[in-house]
Structure 1
């Protein structure tokens, strides 16, 4: 059994980006699924959740929370964080942009799906698809930064997979650099294996939403 453990829910949410990064870096991990409020309270009592939030990643003797800190640690460990301070800064910039983009899809199931997807289409797609298409075109290597896959690319493919899942692959037809990027990334050996594995989670199900609300006592 892998010694790396990801404690989250049986769904995408903020945990999916962590799963993507672990897979992209070839790091085996075990999913620990929160199902009951008492499990979450036990993590709090044990001092494992510094900011009273999940996901929690246990790796290399560390207990890491805050998703951005987690994925950056994984990226550095796996060599997906650039080869200079300049590249790392650009990777950070693009990665944060992918999080803004992906945030349009996080509330599916927690709010009316039709309204969420309409906002994603009218505001998210129209804003971010041109930005990332031009960035890929300008860099000219197939990747957002440098000539190799980085944290930024993993963040972007996570967002694009939600785009194509909910709106169809034709959505990328007017963005040739993004379309080529999407095809290339899903063909990467580790990414392709992850997408076929049970650790890749489906869309936000009613059961996932109900569990999140119960465990975290959410009022949304």
Structure 2
């Protein structure tokens, strides 16, 4: 195994996508192993590789890490994306938890029953525009800096950009009422490591196609 972190998951977004984003923002190259069959997944469990019988799995610094939040916290701390002190870390965690709530809705949308899709789509748009994005617009206004916490890039900025771009896939003008978030999006997108990750051919994953849902379910259930 090389010195690069190795990520084991599906060849899709899911809970691994914010991990890919954070590593890319830190300028860290990583390898990926894609689960394609239930047998592959069951073997990881049988071999005791998955501590809670769950992926994402990230092999980094001699550890086999599971649990998305723990993985993100480790990467953020290792690569100086977690604030300068305990107070900044608390703010970053608070913002990230809010982002994660909205992200969970978006990630689960492709798995919605057909008769619930329209309702769930409306709920995503409503929550984004009335609950979550107004908070971050206010944070940027009150803080008066280019970033959400302190005056340097943190995991909160990276994960906010990720969720903005996901939300725009549902509603391209979703930031119409949020001028500071529009500027934030442009600014963070132009950070060299992030700009590179946004280019075609990167390890960033597209939305999950509807026809892939049965394949995903077949691996885990």
What residue is the counterpart of 2:29 in the other structure? 28
Tell me how far 1:124 sits from its aligned partner.
3.3
> 2:132 aligned with 1:131, yes or no?
no
Cα displacement string for residues 4-25 of structure 1 (whole angstroms, at most 9, x for unaligned residues): 1100111111110000001011
TM-score (norm 2): 0.93
Cα displacement string for residues 66-93 of structure 1 (whole angstroms, at most 9, x for unaligned residues): 0010011110111000111111111111
Cα displacement string for residues 85-115 of structure 1 (whole angstroms, at most 9, x for unaligned residues): 1111111111111101212201122114433
What residue is the counterpart of 2:205 in the other structure? 201
What residue is the counterpart of 1:192 in the other structure? 195
Tell me how far 1:43 sits from its aligned partner.
0.7
Instruction: Could you list the structure 1 runs, at least 4 aligned residues long, displaced by more than 3 angstroms after superposition.
Output: none
Tell me how far 1:207 sits from its aligned partner.
4.5
Tell me how far 1:126 sits from its aligned partner.
1.3
TM-score (norm 1): 0.94
Tell me how far 1:31 sits from its aligned partner.
1.3
Separation of aligned partners in 1, 2:126 and 2:93: 26
Separation of aligned partners in 2, 1:198 and 1:210: 25
Separation of aligned partners in 2, 1:198 and 1:145: 27
Report the RMSD for the aligned CA atoms in angstroms: 1.4
Separation of aligned partners in 1, 2:21 and 2:180: 22
DSSP-derived class of the 1:107 partner: helix
> 2:59 aligned with 1:55, yes or no?
no
* Unaligned ranges ≥5, structure 1: none
What residue is the counterpart of 2:83 in the other structure? 82
Cα displacement string for residues 41-68 of structure 1 (whole angstroms, at most 9, x for unaligned residues): 1110111111111100001100110001
